[in-house]
Structure 1
Amino acid sequence: MSSPQDSSTQQASTQQAALVAILEALVDPLLQRPWQELAAVESVSIVAGQCQVVIGLPYPWLSVEADLRRRVEAAVAPHLQGATLTLELVSRIPETTARANVAALQGVKNVIAVASGKGGVGKSTTTVNLALAMAQLGARVGILDADIYGPSQGMMLGVPSGTRPQQINDNTMAPIDVHGVQAMSMSFLIDERQPMVWRGPMASGALQQLMTQTQWQDLDYLFVDMPPGTGDIQLTLAQKMPVAGAVVVTTPQDIALLDAQKGIEMFRKVEIPVLGVVENMSLHRCTQCGHEEHIFGEGGGERIATEYQTQLLGSLPLTLKIRQQADSGQPTVITDPDSSEAGHYRAIALKVALALIGQATPAMPVFSVSDD
């Protein structure tokens, strides 16, 4: 004859198994896949009237936290049998497997190149705001300024002139911590007014040193602000660095789209997936009368994304404050986090994170059911 304690234990195990089945059947609101496929249900335990659930998601989830909690609570509430639910959400950002003959970058799970075929399209401003937006979503983020000839991320991040990275040993240095992200730029190593009068191989060598000698600390995403064009530095980055995917920034005007196409073709040749296109300066709204005008054309980003079978990650407006805030070292996402512009950057960052999941190696699930 079974004891009351055995009966209680069996009942708890049955209840937990039922909860696991319910949770695994839930469809992720962003990836549209059951949590069972994503190995998202990490643990379910019922102890002393407390039901503890841990859900591990392969993307930064802060922007959809409320929706996720509502879905879980609605699904399990009828089956709690008086137990109190405690839900823990954690990010398990998967790491992209390095390509053949390309070494992984220590301390970095995913490297994202932000590129443009030509200058003047707002690539660096987009990079800094995307990186900061990804950090606001809950990820650990870094920025590498790969524009050796014209580094600008130090100024955009508001790093005081003359700031130097801490030397760890003869071969490594620590990135600068600013606005919650880790940053490294050639501007941290030289006088900002000193021109880099270097030939291509020297600039490429300097970039390799920045890549390999910076001691990044447990980054989910490293955004690389690439110089415009498709020359030596771009090829060095593409061939020597484990780039998981690229984001191409353009404006809607035809000449910018032509150069953006060249950038996409370059990434294709070196077998780096293009995660999507960001159309910058897509629309201007008059601050006085509210009149809207497509100064640089309309729909160009969508057309190029369709042509190359990628996605339009988002369209950003042409506004004075985005430029002013970047120039002052207080990017829009930091200075005005509740603005529509900051919301655009966060939406684009989340799309980038979701696009990367298809390129990454899934982490092994850690699942447990406990009734102790």
Structure 2
Amino acid sequence: MNAPEPEHCPGPETQNAGKSAACEGCPNQNICAEGPKGPDPAIAAIADRLSGVKHKILVLSGKGGVGKSTFSSNLSLFLSQNDDTQVGLLDIDICGPSVPKMVGLEGEQIRQSSSGWAPVYVSDNLAVMSIGFLMANQNDAVIWKGPKKNGMIKQFLKDVDWGDLDFLVVDTPPGTSDEHLSIVQYLKDAGITGAVLITTPQEVALQDVRREIDFCRKVGVPMIGVVENMASFVCPKCDKSSVIFPATSGGARGLAIEQNIPFLGSIPLDPRIGISGDFGESFVDQYQDSPAYAAYASIISSISAFCAKN
């Protein structure tokens, strides 16, 4: 939602959503009016399709440019370092699908099998799905309204043969609107293990994360915790660090204390993270000497511990 519901809100999933007198003037009116109404039969089909997926993790951020897709990709690559762990990475950023490039799958296409769409594989135990695989030209703009975006997300969940997974990581776009409401609704019966919220230290980014936290509480998504990205710059030659974005209001740690949610850790800015994403290489496989790798290891250990308990 873009704003709190009005006092007499009919509810975003009801037939009167966006149409009742209480909806007049509400910033969410168009989102609710165009969104799915009532129980969607696809919800049960999605739950059945994902019955073999143990943990579903949403990666959220209120603001763009804070490294959410980079974190989603590296989280998936890190988890898949264990050959016995089956991982799926779902990119629902319909208008900005960057995951295929980051994991080295740019230009790949989806294949149809007897059991549905087959995801594209980075390795034997890391499957990826993105609208980027459906685009003939990677520079084409995706200019879709809410219902078409919702339909695409539904198809990714219902028609993709994910098989048995230990983790399904869902990379979401910035904000709290169509795609977010859709993924939460469609996974209602399948269950969401929790959300990881990504931010940078400056207050401008933290403001939007507060809205994301409010979204999670309103729709009932458990929060695994918050990750602070790009907190400092680490020189890849001498490992010395310097602050790039000063935490003028306490940074992500202060936000976590304020909102009573776990602080998972801080990831320094290592230029090799960006270079790896540009060339579709695995940072977590190639640069284990980096302080950023140690930060990822600690954060992902906390995420895995949360999943083991839930």
| TM-score interval for Structure 1 and Structure 2 normalised by the shorter chain | 0.7 to 0.9
| In structure 2, distance between residues paired with 1:292 and 1:196 | 39
| In structure 2, distance between residues paired with 1:100 and 1:198 | 26
Query: Could you tell me how far 1:343 is from its partner in structure 2?
Result: 2.7
Query: Could you tell me how far 1:152 is from its partner in structure 2?
Result: 0.8
Q: Aligned in 2, Cα 1:333/1:316: closer, same or farther, shift over 3 Å?
A: same
* Deviation per residue, 1:261-294 (Å, 9 max, x gap): 1111101111110001110001113457765322
Q: Quick one: which of 134, 138, 162 aligns to 1:216?
A: 162
1:245 maps to which residue? 194
Q: Which amino acid aligns with 1:315?
A: S
Q: Quick one: which of 87, 99, 105 aligns to 1:141?
A: 87
2:101 maps to which residue? 155
Which aligned pairs between 1:304-323 and structure 2 lie closer than 5 A?
A: 304-323=255-274
1:194 maps to which residue? 140
Q: Which amino acid aligns with 2:113?
A: I
Q: Quick one: which of 109, 112, 121 aligns to 1:177?
A: 121
Q: Say whether the 8 Å CA contact 2:46–2:157 is kept in structure 1.
A: no
Q: Say whether the 8 Å CA contact 2:236–2:270 is kept in structure 1.
A: no
Residues paired across the two proteins, number: 259
SS in 1 for 2:257: helix
Q: Quick one: which of 186, 203, 224 aligns to 1:254?
A: 203
| In structure 2, distance between residues paired with 1:172 and 1:195 | 26
| In structure 1, distance between residues paired with 2:207 and 2:254 | 12
2:153 maps to which residue? 207
1:349 maps to which residue? 300
| In structure 2, distance between residues paired with 1:130 and 1:216 | 18
1:127 maps to which residue? 72
Which aligned pairs between 1:1-372 and structure 2 lie closer than 5 A?
A: 103=47, 105-137=50-82, 138-161=84-107, 163-169=108-114, 172-179=116-123, 180-191=125-136, 192-241=138-187, 242-286=191-235, 292-298=241-247, 299-359=250-310
* Deviation per residue, 1:220-255 (Å, 9 max, x gap): 100000011111111111121132100000000001
Query: Could you tell me how far 1:344 is from its partner in structure 2?
Result: 2.0
Q: Say whether the 8 Å CA contact 1:249–1:277 is kept in structure 2.
A: yes
Q: Which runs of 5+ in 2 are unaligned?
A: 1-42
Q: Aligned in 2, Cα 1:120/1:347: closer, same or farther, shift over 3 Å?
A: same
Larger Rg: 1
Q: Which runs of 5+ in 1 are unaligned?
A: 1-98, 360-372
Calculate the TM-score normalised by the size of structure 2: 0.78
Q: Say whether the 8 Å CA contact 1:131–1:349 is kept in structure 2.
A: no
Q: Say whether the 8 Å CA contact 2:235–2:270 is kept in structure 1.
A: no
Q: Say whether the 8 Å CA contact 1:107–1:217 is kept in structure 2.
A: yes
SS in 1 for 2:193: strand
Higher mean C-alpha displacement, 190-199 vs 142-151: 190-199
SS in 2 for 1:297: coil
Q: Say whether the 8 Å CA contact 1:130–1:346 is kept in structure 2.
A: no
Query: Could you tell me how far 1:101 is from its partner in structure 2?
Result: 11
Q: Say whether the 8 Å CA contact 1:106–1:215 is kept in structure 2.
A: no
RMSD: 2.2
| In structure 1, distance between residues paired with 2:97 and 2:146 | 16
SS in 1 for 2:113: coil
Q: Say whether the 8 Å CA contact 2:73–2:103 is kept in structure 1.
A: yes
Query: Could you tell me how far 1:337 is from its partner in structure 2?
Result: 3.5
Q: Aligned in 2, Cα 1:269/1:101: closer, same or farther, shift over 3 Å?
A: farther
Q: Which amino acid aligns with 1:174?
A: A
